[in-house]
Amino acid sequence: MVWVNAILQGVLLGGLYALFAAGLSLMFGVMRFVNIAHGDFIVVAAYAMLTFAVTWGWHPALSVLAVVLLLGAAGYANQRFVLNRVLGKDILPPILVTFGLSIIIQNALLEGFSADSRKIQTGALETASLQLFEGVAIGLLPFLIFVAALCVLGVLQFVFYHTPLGRLLRATSDDPEIVPLVGGNNAHIFALATMLASFVVAIAGIFLAMKTNFDPAAGPARLLFAFEAVIIGGLGSIWGTLAGGVILGVAQTLGAQIDAGYQILAGHLAFLAVLILRPTGLFPRMKG
């Protein structure tokens, strides 16, 4: 039962990793662009939730809405007025700019919140569990995070394949040069894609703040987990991020079951194995 528990905990942890990865996968799928500051924006969302809900005492629902709107607006503005200026055939300028953003965000958070580790206390939710059968139980909070990940990915799937915005995003992904010829605006579409990704980033940051400790330097680790989940699942694949997150989570919890020091290493080894055996990921995105 110990190993069954470890696998179940890994699956649920994969839900959080899928939330980390979904925004990154979306941006790459549309713009072929990896945002090095992605993990830092997740941490920004966590600090925003902490500020609204704890420091200012806002109602949790209002705090969640504020964080989602704040990150969405910031994502749109950042893409429209900063990142669009450096996007092109050369991948180096966007990487350098987002690396600089990462450094700026980390230092700004350090100045504003200090280096102390923080966490939002969720009361009974932290210890509540669901008994599946004798000897096997799952935490209620991890279960809710996993359900939220399913809902978020389902909404993204619907937006991409059943809405006018989704058709624009897919058209831009397939051939960005032809979009202006049919009346589209690539700069605006890229910004909308980043805004959509930022909504997911906000949700990921909120759950990060509820589930574990975080500090201003926590962003790069979140980026690494997101990147590994995206690569395992397949670049640009929406549901592939869930598969990648689950594989990464299960590898980590099984590694931790063997020895606490093997947790992160086991995840990296799983990522390396998939990269060697299937470089395109398990579910690479299909065109069209």
Cβ–Cβ under 8 Å, residues 254 and 266:
yes
Kindly tell me if the per-residue pLDDT of 264 is higher than 90: yes
Run of H or E including 207: helix 186-211
Asked whether residue 288 carries a pLDDT value surpassing 50, the answer given is no
Q: State pLDDT tens for residues 51-98.
A: 999 999 999 999 999 999 999 999 999 999 999 888 877 888 889 999
Q: Which residues contact 51 (CB under 8 A, 6 or more apart)?
A: none
Report pLDDT digits (tens) over 118-143.
999 988 888 898 888 777 888 999 99
What DSSP character marks residue 136?
A: E
C-alpha closest to that of 196 among 13, 34, 61, 23: 23
Percent of the chain with pLDDT over 70: 96
For residue 244, pLDDT beyond 90: yes
Count structural domains, the chain. 1
| Amino acid 181: pLDDT | 64
Query: How far apart (Å, rounded) are the C-alpha atoms in residues 237 and 177?
Result: 22
Q: Shortest CA distance to 202 belongs to which of 74, 15, 85?
A: 74
- Find the CATH number of the domain harbouring 233: 1.10.3470
- Residue 86 belongs to a domain: yes
Q: How far apart are CA 262 and CA 9, in angstroms?
A: 16
| Cβ proximity of 257 and 3 under 8 Å | yes
- Half-sphere exposure of residue 195, counting CA atoms within 13 Å on the CB side? 16
In a domain, 49, yes or no: yes
In a domain, 285, yes or no: no
* Assigned domain for 138 exists: yes
The answer to whether residue 287 is domain-embedded is no
138-162: pLDDT as tens digits: 899 999 999 999 999 999 999 988 9
Give percent above pLDDT 90 in the chain: 66
Residue 287 pLDDT level (bands cut at 50, 70, 90)? very low
Q: Which DSSP symbol is given to 214?
A: B
How confident is the model at residue 164, as a pLDDT? 87
- Residue 12, pLDDT > 90, answer yes
pLDDT for 285 equals: 66
Question: 256 pLDDT band (50/70/90 cuts)?
Answer: very high
pLDDT at 30: 82
Q: Does residue 33 surpass a pLDDT of 90?
A: no
Query: Does residue 286 surpass a pLDDT of 80?
Result: no
Distance (Å, whole) CA 88 – CA 31: 10
As a whole number of angstroms, the distance between CA 75 and CA 41 comes to 9
Instruction: Give the pLDDT confidence of 174-213 residue by residue, as tens digits.
Output: 777 766 665 667 888 889 999 999 999 999 999 999 999 9
Q: Is residue 76 part of a domain?
A: yes
Nearest-angstrom CA–CA distance, 143 and 206: 15
pLDDT exceeds cutoff 90 at 232: yes
Is residue 34 a part of any domain in this protein?
Answer: yes
Asked if residue 286 belongs to a domain, the reply is: no
Residue 253 has pLDDT above 80, yes or no: yes
Average pLDDT, the chain: 90
The band of 27, judged by pLDDT with boundaries at 50, 70 and 90, is: confident
Domain that holds residue 236: 2-277
